[in-house]
């Protein structure tokens, strides 16, 4: 008999433990539901309150190729939209569709202002690939040349837009950074799969064959021999610097 009573007591205790556990679980679930409901209510209030209706858009950055109006239209913004209902990542993505935009950062300024900071692409060269395209400082082919005025940029030829443009940009840097080379000017960087790279200077004009390696060393040689060659070889049209001990000239 005592054994049966003991078993019944154990069952009652087990049911009591389960009841307390379920009660605690329901309390926690209720608290969580209240928390979610409060959060949703707060979110709904923020995204529908007229206090946060967009009234001002500030576009910050040096704009040369795009206008503020073009940025606002590309971003799909309009007055009256709730500031907190905006998907800022979506607005950034839309703005970046403008080819001249390199980067964009957007933030809200309560109660009614959206701040947009943009950085434009800086064209470093033009790429001739059936048509002329702008190439950025990072080597990105970002836009076809249309009515723009950047026609004094050096032109990369013999390459496609899906090829790495690292070496042509390095050659441009050498001409820009070294004053002695800058006096030649740079009109074209050409790539030939068989012979490598060559440049065409504005002064002359002069075609300088550089091959595939040691570009800086070869351009130093060009600076040293140029004065003598210009005097002794009028009508000079080209120099091949792919030889260590000599330079082959073309008249």
How much of the chain, in percent, has pLDDT values that exceed 70?
A: 78
The whole-angstrom separation of Cα 44 and Cα 32 is 18
Would you state the structure tokens that stand for residue 245, as one six-digit string? 């001990």
Q: Where are the domains of the chain?
A: 2-48, 51-120, 123-250
CATH fold of 123-250: Rossmann fold (3.40.50)
The whole-angstrom separation of Cα 59 and Cα 71 is 8
152 close to 125: Cβ distance less than 8 angstroms: no
**94 pLDDT tier (thresholds 50, 70, 90):** very high
The whole-angstrom separation of Cα 64 and Cα 121 is 10
Averaged pLDDT score across all residues of the chain: 83
pLDDT tens-digit profile of 159-202? 998 899 999 999 999 988 887 777 788 999 999 999 999 999 98
pLDDT tens-digit profile of 100-145? 999 999 999 999 999 999 999 999 999 999 999 999 999 999 999 9
Q: What superfamily would CATH give domain 51-120?
A: membrane protein fhac (3.10.20.310)
241 close to 210: Cβ distance less than 8 angstroms: yes
**5 pLDDT tier (thresholds 50, 70, 90):** very low
149 close to 182: Cβ distance less than 8 angstroms: no
pLDDT tens-digit profile of 21-76? 656 565 565 555 545 545 544 555 566 678 889 999 999 999 999 999 999 999 99
**233 pLDDT tier (thresholds 50, 70, 90):** low
Per the model's pLDDT, the better-predicted residue between 243 and 9 turns out to be 243
78 close to 69: Cβ distance less than 8 angstroms: no
């Amino acid at each position: 008999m005592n054994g049966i009573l003991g078993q019944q007591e154990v069952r009652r205790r087990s049911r009591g433990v389960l009841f307390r556990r379920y009660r605690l679980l329901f309390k926690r679930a209720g608290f969580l539901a209240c928390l979610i409901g409060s959060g949703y209510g707060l979110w709904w209030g923020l995204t529908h309150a007229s206090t946060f209706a967009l009234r001002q858009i500030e576009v910050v950055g040096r704009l040369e190729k795009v206008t503020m109006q073009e940025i606002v239209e590309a971003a799909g913004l309009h007055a009256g939209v709730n500031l907190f209902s905006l998907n800022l990542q979506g607005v950034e993505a839309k703005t970046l569709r403008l080819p001249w935009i390199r980067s964009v950062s957007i933030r809200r300024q309560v109660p009614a202002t959206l701040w947009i900071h943009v950085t434009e692409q800086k064209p470093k060269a033009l790429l001739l690939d059936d048509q002329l395209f702008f190439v950025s400082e990072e080597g990105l082919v970002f836009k076809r040349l249309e009515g723009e005025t950047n026609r004094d940029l050096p032109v990369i030829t013999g390459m496609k837009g899906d090829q790495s443009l690292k070496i042509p940009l390095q050659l441009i840097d050498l001409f820009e950074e070294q004053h002695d080379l800058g006096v030649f000017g740079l009109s074209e960087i050409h790539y030939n799969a068989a012979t490598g790279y060559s440049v065409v200077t504005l002064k002359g004009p002069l075609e300088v064959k550089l091959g595939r390696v040691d570009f800086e060393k070869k351009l130093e040689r060009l600076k040293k021999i140029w004065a003598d060659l210009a005097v002794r070889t009028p009508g000079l049209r080209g120099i091949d610097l792919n030889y260590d001990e000599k330079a082959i000239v073309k008249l």
